[in-house]
């Protein structure tokens, strides 16, 4: 296998399988990658779960080392010394590199476990195990058992639980034995594409995942009316148009039938007006009743429950922010709530939100998420939640609808989320000055607070950061609303 002297890890291999350019960039221009805080937050959760799962094979030694060569040397040394359980043991052979979560002795042979921050298995997990098995097997280890470790479906709280009750193993030894022999050929095929220079030329397309760190780089050069940004464009139709050399909305023949959403974008772009404003926007905005309450919730769905009586993965609604606009162009008041302390934040949240919504003319929110939160509170049997949901349903105005088919700017690139729309419509207003910048960080903060990782001054500072983040969300809606009103 030729990888230009570099070793291919399982994550690099998976990158390459998804898109050879992604592997090419990872190796040649890694500085172009942008890893957002939400991805870092997910990686941090994964690390914590991995460490927790070590309790399944207790008493092992973590392989030390700052560099790959140190970790390889230390793995070999610790195995020679007779360690029966190793965490993060490292192996390299044939240009491939593997670091396994838990390696353990079974008599004269070995087994290993790969820990997943998930409750159900998918193809990627199995491919991971096959890759690791191949490297360990080629390195001369006799592997008797390979297990994927998942978070149990009905997880109890970590505190006071046996580690065996937190995880479930899945034996994938047979599939690893069966399919690992095909790996060298697949790796060679991939490296041939990457080394040929063809990978570098791959154009951004429907294969690009939102989590690819090179999205900004690859999408940066595309025109704002690239076909890739046409919303709800059927994959087959997209490919058929691209195969005909059509890459931009303006090149799509007028008689080509598109989805309603894509047709809307085509019409808006074709009008030449920036931003394009639907003729009925004024009528729709006039239907807003005052006082108008701009509402946003923050939530967490931790894999392991952090509150007694709740299940792992269950939605916890722990915060809201509400800006209240008294009348068109009138005063704006602000109300907020966050609870990082009680075992059930829902009770206090409903109590605090009830007076805010009771006098509302319209409740303005962004997307369908707020309805889901209120439905969750009703499902949890919180007194007063049913009345809140009814009030919400009777007065709900989804602001995202205005940006789905009422206003379009080419810089939206087919999207309508607030994170995309806000910097275009209200330049200068964003989240960059905040400590908590997105929902993922808010969720992490809640879990850290409830798990006792944040205490004292740190906890107080994070509470304040959460309040400012949620406040920014509803303030952004107020500003967007002002812009919308100014357009008609
Ligand atoms: S953005 Fe798309 S084309 Fe670029 S590296 Fe990622 S997957 Fe490949």
Q: State the average pLDDT over residues 317-340.
A: 97
Q: Is pLDDT at 37 greater than 80 in this prediction?
A: no
Q: Is pLDDT at 1 greater than 60 in this prediction?
A: no
pLDDT value for 159: 83
Q: Is pLDDT at 3 greater than 70 in this prediction?
A: no
Judge whether 2 lies within some domain. no
Q: Is pLDDT at 417 greater than 90 in this prediction?
A: yes
Judge whether 206 lies within some domain. no
Q: Is pLDDT at 38 greater than 80 in this prediction?
A: no
452 phi/psi in degrees, rounded to 5: 80, 10
CATH number, residue 40: 3.90.320
Atom of ligand 1 nearest to the CA of 25: 5
Structure-block tokens of residue 301: 């769905």
Angle CA(310)–CA(316)–CA(321) in degrees, nearest 5?
155
Judge whether 168 lies within some domain. yes
* Structure confidence at residue 64 as a pLDDT band (50, 70, 90): very high
Residue 214 Cα to ligand 1 midpoint, Å, equals 6
Query: Which own/partner contact pairs does 184-192 have at CB distance under 8 Å and 24+ positions apart?
Result: 184/1, 184/94, 184/134, 186/17, 187/1, 187/8, 187/13, 187/95, 187/96, 188/1, 190/13, 190/16, 190/17, 190/20, 190/23, 191/1, 191/2, 191/3, 191/8
Judge whether 210 lies within some domain. no
Whether residue 32 has its Cβ less than 6 Å from ligand 1 = no
In this structure, are 42 and 124 located in the same domain? yes
pLDDT value for 5: 63
Task: Please tell me which residue, 242 or 41, carries the higher pLDDT value.
Answer: 242
In this structure, are 39 and 171 located in the same domain? yes
* Cross-strand partners of 382: none
Q: How far is CA 112 from the centre of its chain?
A: 28
Whether residue 21 has its Cβ less than 6 Å from ligand 1 = yes
Residue 78 Cα to ligand 1 midpoint, Å, equals 40
In this structure, are 359 and 457 located in the same domain? yes
Whether residue 388 has its Cβ less than 6 Å from ligand 1 = no
Q: Is 154 helix (H, G, I), strand (E, B) or coil?
A: coil
Q: Is pLDDT at 158 greater than 70 in this prediction?
A: yes
In this structure, are 322 and 404 located in the same domain? yes
In this structure, are 468 and 324 located in the same domain? yes
Last residue of one domain, picked from the residues 139, 171, 190: 190
pLDDT in tens, 347-384: 999 999 999 999 999 999 999 999 999 999 999 999 99
Judge whether 198 lies within some domain. no
Q: How far is CA 55 from the centre of its chain?
A: 27
CA within 13 Å, CB half, 105: 13
Q: How far is CA 135 from the centre of its chain?
A: 30
Q: Which domain holds residue 150?
A: 10-190
Number of domains within the chain: 3
3-state helix, strand, coil in the chain (%, to 5): 50, 15, 35
Judge whether 362 lies within some domain. yes
Average pLDDT, the chain: 94
pLDDT value for 342: 96
pLDDT value for 73: 97
Q: State the average pLDDT over residues 382-405.
A: 97
* Structure confidence at residue 197 as a pLDDT band (50, 70, 90): confident
Q: State the average pLDDT over residues 408-412.
A: 96
CA–CA separation, 488 vs 478, rounded Å?
A: 16
* Structure confidence at residue 114 as a pLDDT band (50, 70, 90): very high
**H or E segment to which residue 483 belongs:** helix 456-487
Pocket test for ligand 1, best of 212, 221, 413 (most atoms within 8 A of CB): 212
pLDDT value for 61: 97
Structure-block tokens of residue 377: 């509170």
In this structure, are 137 and 286 located in the same domain? no
Peptide bond between residue 280 and the one before it cis (omega within 30 degrees of 0):
no
Whether residue 22 has its Cβ less than 6 Å from ligand 1 = yes
Q: Which of 280, 286, 290 is nearest to 395 (CA)?
A: 290
Judge whether 174 lies within some domain. yes
Q: Is pLDDT at 4 greater than 60 in this prediction?
A: no
In this structure, are 336 and 468 located in the same domain? yes
CATH number, residue 329: 3.30.420
Residue 209 Cα to ligand 1 midpoint, Å, equals 8
Pocket test for ligand 1, best of 12, 23, 204, 221 (most atoms within 8 A of CB): 204
Q: Which of 226, 225, 249, 227 is nearest to 238 (CA)?
A: 227
pLDDT in tens, 423-459: 999 999 998 899 998 898 899 999 999 999 999 999 9
CA–CA separation, 262 vs 265, rounded Å?
A: 5
In this structure, are 231 and 351 located in the same domain? no
Angle CA(476)–CA(478)–CA(483) in degrees, nearest 5?
95
The answer to whether the CB of 445 falls within 8 A of the CB of 454 is yes
In this structure, are 425 and 304 located in the same domain? yes
In this structure, are 260 and 286 located in the same domain? no
* Cross-strand partners of 92: 97
Judge whether 217 lies within some domain. no
């Amino acid at each position: 296998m030729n990888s230009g002297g570099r070793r291919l890890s399982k994550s690099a291999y998976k990158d390459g399988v998804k898109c050879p350019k992604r592997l090419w960039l990872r190796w040649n221009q890694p500085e172009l990658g942008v890893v957002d805080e939400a991805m870092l937050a997910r990686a941090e959760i994964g690390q914590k779960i991995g460490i927790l799962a070590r309790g399944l094979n207790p008493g092992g030694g973590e392989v030390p080392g700052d560099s790959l060569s140190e970790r390889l040397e230390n793995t070999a040394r610790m195995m020679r010394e007779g360690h029966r359980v190793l965490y993060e043991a490292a192996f390299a052979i044939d240009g491939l590199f593997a670091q396994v979560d838990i390696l353990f002795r079974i008599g004269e042979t070995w087994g290993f476990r790969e820990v997943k921050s998930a409750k159900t298995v998918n193809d990627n997990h199995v491919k991971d195990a096959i890759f690791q098995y191949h490297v360990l097997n080629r390195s001369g280890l006799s592997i008797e058992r390979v297990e994927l470790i998942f978070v149990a479906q009905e997880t109890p709280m970590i505190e006071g639980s046996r580690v065996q009750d937190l995880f479930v193993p899945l034996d994938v030894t047979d599939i690893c034995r069966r399919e690992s022999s095909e790996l060298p050929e697949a790796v060679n095929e991939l490296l041939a594409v990457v080394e040929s220079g063809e990978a570098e030329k791959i154009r951004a397309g429907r294969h690009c995942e939102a989590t690819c760190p090179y999205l900004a780089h690859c999408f940066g050069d595309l025109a704002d009316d690239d076909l890739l940004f046409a919303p709800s464009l059927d994959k087959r139709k997209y490919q058929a148009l691209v195969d005909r050399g059509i890459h931009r909305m303006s090149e799509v023949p007028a008689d080509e039938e598109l989805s309603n959403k894509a047709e809307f974008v085509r019409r808006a772009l074709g009008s030449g007006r920036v931003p394009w404003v639907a003729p009925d926007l004024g009528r729709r905005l006039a239907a807003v009743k005052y006082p108008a309450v701009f509402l946003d919730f923050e939530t967490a769905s931790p894999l392991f429950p952090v509150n007694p009586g709740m299940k792992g993965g269950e939605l916890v609604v722990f915060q809201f922010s509400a800006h209240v606009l008294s009348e068109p162009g009138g005063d704006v008041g602000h109300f907020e709530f966050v609870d990082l302390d009680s075992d059930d934040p829902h009770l206090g949240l409903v109590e605090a939100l009830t007076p805010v919504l009771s006098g509302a003319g319209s409740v303005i929110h962004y997307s369908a998420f707020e309805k889901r939160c209120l439905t969750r509170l009703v499902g949890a049997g919180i007194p007063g939640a049913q009345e809140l949901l009814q009030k919400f349903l009777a007065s709900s105005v989804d602001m995202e609808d205005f940006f789905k088919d009422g206003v379009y700017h080419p810089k939206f690139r087919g999207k309508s989320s607030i994170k995309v729309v806000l910097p275009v419509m209200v330049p200068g207003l964003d989240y960059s000055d905040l400590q908590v910048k997105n929902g993922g960080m808010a969720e992490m903060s809640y879990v850290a607070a409830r798990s006792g990782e944040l205490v004292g001054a740190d906890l107080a500072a994070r509470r304040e950061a959460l309040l400012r983040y949620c406040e920014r969300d509803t303030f952004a809606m107020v500003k967007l609303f002002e812009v919308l009103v100014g357009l008609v």
